[in-house]
Structure 1
Amino acid sequence: MDLYSRGALFGIAEKIVRLLTQLLSLVLMARLMDPAEFGSLMYAFAVVSMFNAISIFGLDAQLIKWLSIYSVRSPYIVKSAFLLRCFFSVACFFVVNFLPFLGVGDPSLVFIISIYLLVMPWLTYEWIFTSIGRSDYSSIGLLIGYIVGFLYRLGVLLLGATPYLLAWAYVLELVVVSFVYSVIGRQLAIGLFDGGFNASRKLLALIFRRSFPLAISSLLVFLYVKIDQVMVGYMLGDLAAANYVSATRLSDALYVFGILLVNVYFPKYVSSIIFLNGDVRSPYEMNRKIFWLVLLSVLGCVFVVYFSDFIVSCLYGGNYAQASPVLAYTIWTVPLVYLGAITTRVYVALGKNWVMFKRSAAALAINVILNLLLIPVAGLEGAAFASVVAHLVAALLMNAVLDFSVFKWQIRVLMCKAKNW
């Protein structure tokens, strides 16, 4: 088996294990914990996870590219990226722990969960492995981390769960992944501290400038995806957050399938996307895959809407009846996420990275405004509706404003009338 196939196979396995362990953990916690305590834990995690993008600082795509091109200078690039991640991770840790003083989240839960931000710089190994064509090593580390995290949660739940003990699972997962990465890195004679701690200031400044736009764009995406969960917890309390997160996590779980297909099948088409005579043109095979992916996801949404009461009751029990109407709304974000992920790759192929930043900014603004207006009036369903509208804006409507050629391409693909070549 060649390295690409091996990496793809391990990548698929990692995504499936992640989906199953996270979904099963969510169901067990919802059933075995007090709903208010479960909501408090999920609320705190949503608050902390908004800072993931800042701690990564847009370095993921940039670092893999640079390590592939400038292999001779790779130790300096790795060290500089690691130091930048350390700086922003520490900054995020202090900022997120200030938020509970403003009434956002339980202080102890936020503090415990935010410790994983301090561990995240060691995940720089993941980009190194990818750059040398060994993404299977990245998947192996993540697989072990997910399994250990799941077993820890299961043990705590069986022995008598408290949200504070469960909060440590997020830290444990990353500590295990980082340890596995360090062991593999040592076997490959790759170290984050090779040659000491000194790093080039010029290289640090260059990486910072190149990564800043991507970091801002990633931050906006994280915010408009997570902000509704934080606002529900802040405005309606922990019990409402438990119901809301229970529903949105089911929708989030379905993102994995489409994103996995996009990551596996669509990279080979990116170089074939062209702009000709005012139109975006893409291969026929790509257009057909997009059409069927979106269509099947829409049919899946209809199924989930019809059986939402049954799904919520079977998974979570009677304490989470309010999650059913939320699921009936948020499930419609699934085809929009698929379409948005594909469209992002089209913009990258066309060299229009800043359009993605503008799309995400518009979606965030609309999500916040609609949540402020609708949560006091319609509660959880208002927040769910706001989330769907924000995804619709990011995936489709803003393209009509920012780049009408891409919007036309989307409509034609969805109608099976795209211009091919």
Structure 2
Amino acid sequence: MTQSPGTPQAGTASHGIIGKFLHLASAQTIRDVLHTCFFIYLARVDQSHYGEFQLAFNTAMIVLFLGEFGLNQPLVSSLSKKYGNKGDILAQYTLIKGLILVLGWLGVWVFITQQRYTAGLTNLIQVITAGVGLEALASSFFVACRVQGRQDLEARIRSVAAVCGYGWALGTLALGFAPHWIALFKLIENGISLVGGAWVAVNKTDIQSLALKGKALARTWNTAKGGLVFVLLAFFSILYNKANLFFLQKFSGPYAVAQYSATWEVVDAIQIPISSLLMKSVLFPLFVGLWRHDKEGFDRLKDNSVKWLLGASIPVMFFLFVESDRIIGLIYGKSYVDAMWLQKWLVPSVMFSFVHNLAAYLMMSQHRQNALFWIYAGGLALNIVMCALLIPKMPLLGAGLAIVITKGVVCCCTTYSCQREMGLIKWRAVRPVLTATLLGAGLYFGLGLLGIREIAEAGGLAPFGVLGYKWWREMKAQALPKAA
């Protein structure tokens, strides 16, 4: 059986998206479970240290994002080209990332010095930043694997690295080591990822070597200038996501940071597999290739992505909202009571994150990063204003409102841009989700009259289960080869 040139292919299954996603998701699950166990253990042992570790991690994420998101996206485009020395390209980007990480680490040192943090917190932030920063270097080699569809290699290395790194963290925490010794686990984890990633890139992909040959070193400067807009995009994006924590630390201290971080860890745990694994590591390389070589395939993949993301976001938000007390209480304990009500305010960020990230990666795949630059710059300005106005008066609620409002405005801007250029969201994708939402709401409130919470919640989720099953059947049917 063959397929004629004009026959549509499946928008999702034909590209092996599910398999690639599952490889990365399995590794991410191992890492997330270990990360969660460590932070829950830490949160229950010492709430103050938990708040300090969260502040350190969120500071380090700024440096990581500059080197990873800021340069991985143009690296995908460069390695996707048919011609050119890919080893030279990978070496150039790795060198640039190394320089950015050094500058970023120095910038963090200047910042924490100005903030006059305690010596213990200062040491903790410096160690965590150095360890987390190595992930950006390792990700360069994993990008080479992703471009060739070898997400399985990345998954194996990340799994081993996570077990070793978090094994150190949990062991030293149990033994009562000082925080800066515990923090070495990120150096261990990402050191293993860096060495393993470099090895598989050279030995298991078409990267022949990592040496800068000929005029490649001179071309590195041109590469750096071309990637500057992506670095700034990353800088603006991570700052508007993390700025509220620095305001919280300033006005309320580590207790407020701990309460906010407890609920944001739960919400972010939902967003990361979609935004980071599915979109960045699987969909974005496909969007880049399809935009160049198969516009019809690009449109099919885009439409299917919108449909699934909208369909997933509503039940996730509903579950996080109605179960906030149980989720936080079970994970962190009753002392995190403020995190329970704050989670209800944060749930809209799930849909904003899903839709915005899809729109942003679509814009980058079409080389519209300059438009995205101005949206992110505006988002950062808005977030700082919101933090300055809201957090001093009502710290926890203000921090939650600042991030939700910012994400909502940025999402509207990127979605509008994609809607105008390519018709991102179509009624045929919205209609079944809206129908399921209305049916779910009716069942939830109707069954709520019985006075049994679990039955009402199950009723609210049931229409989305049916809808997801229907879409799954349709996707499998599309994946079957059709006769010419």
Into which bin does the TM-score normalised by the smaller protein fall?
A: 0.7 to 0.9
Identity score, percent: 18
- Does the 8 A contact of 1:240 with 1:380 survive in 2? yes
1:315, distance to aligned residue in structure 2 (A): 0.6
Deviates more, 1:295-304 or 1:150-159: 295-304
1:177, distance to aligned residue in structure 2 (A): 0.9
2:381 pairs with one of 345, 357, 365? 365
Aligned to 1:307: 323
1:414, distance to aligned residue in structure 2 (A): 6.6
Paired with 2:422 and 2:409, the residues of 1 have a C-alpha distance of 12
- Does the 8 A contact of 1:26 with 1:246 survive in 2? no
1:318 pairs with one of 313, 334, 339? 334
Aligned to 2:211: 194
Q: What are the residue-to-residue correspondences of 1:201-212 with 2, within 5 Å?
A: 201-212=217-228
Paired with 1:408 and 1:178, the residues of 2 have a C-alpha distance of 40
1:75 pairs with one of 87, 91, 101? 87
Aligned to 2:452: none
2:97 pairs with one of 76, 81, 85? 85
Aligned to 2:37: 24
Which of the two has higher C-alpha Rg? 2
Structure 2 residue ranges without an equivalent (≥5): 1-13, 434-484
1:72, distance to aligned residue in structure 2 (A): 4.8
Residue 416 of structure 1 aligns to a residue whose secondary structure is: helix
1:160, distance to aligned residue in structure 2 (A): 2.1
Letter in 2 for 1:22: H
Aligned to 1:249: 265
Aligned to 2:24: 11
1:338, distance to aligned residue in structure 2 (A): 0.5
Aligned to 1:115: 130
- Does the 8 A contact of 1:362 with 1:393 survive in 2? no
Q: What are the residue-to-residue correspondences of 1:42-81 with 2, within 5 Å?
A: 42-56=54-68, 58-69=70-81, 72-81=84-93
State the Cα deviation string for residues 314-342 of structure 1 (Å, max 9, x = none).
11012211211221112221111101122
Aligned to 1:278: none
1:161, distance to aligned residue in structure 2 (A): 4.9
Structure 1 residue ranges without an equivalent (≥5): 275-280
- Does the 8 A contact of 2:76 with 2:285 survive in 1? no
- Does the 8 A contact of 2:27 with 2:156 survive in 1? yes
Aligned to 1:331: 347
> Paired residues, what number?
408
1:230, distance to aligned residue in structure 2 (A): 2.5
Residue 53 of structure 2 aligns to a residue whose secondary structure is: helix
1:244, distance to aligned residue in structure 2 (A): 0.9
Q: Does 2:158 align with 1:145?
A: no
Residue 315 of structure 1 aligns to a residue whose secondary structure is: helix
Summarize the Cα distance change of 1:156–1:391 in structure 2 as closer, same or farther, 3 Å threshold. same
Aligned to 2:113: 101
Paired with 1:395 and 1:251, the residues of 2 have a C-alpha distance of 17
Q: Does 2:367 align with 1:355?
A: no
Residue 322 of structure 1 aligns to a residue whose secondary structure is: helix
Paired with 1:177 and 1:49, the residues of 2 have a C-alpha distance of 17
Summarize the Cα distance change of 1:333–1:407 in structure 2 as closer, same or farther, 3 Å threshold. farther
- Does the 8 A contact of 2:202 with 2:209 survive in 1? no
Letter in 1 for 2:33: L
Letter in 1 for 2:115: G
- Does the 8 A contact of 1:326 with 1:384 survive in 2? yes
Summarize the Cα distance change of 1:131–1:273 in structure 2 as closer, same or farther, 3 Å threshold. closer
Residue 431 of structure 2 aligns to a residue whose secondary structure is: coil
Letter in 2 for 1:129: C
Paired with 2:283 and 2:212, the residues of 1 have a C-alpha distance of 39
State the Cα deviation string for residues 282-312 of structure 1 (Å, max 9, x = none).
8578546534532442233233222212211
Aligned to 2:395: 379
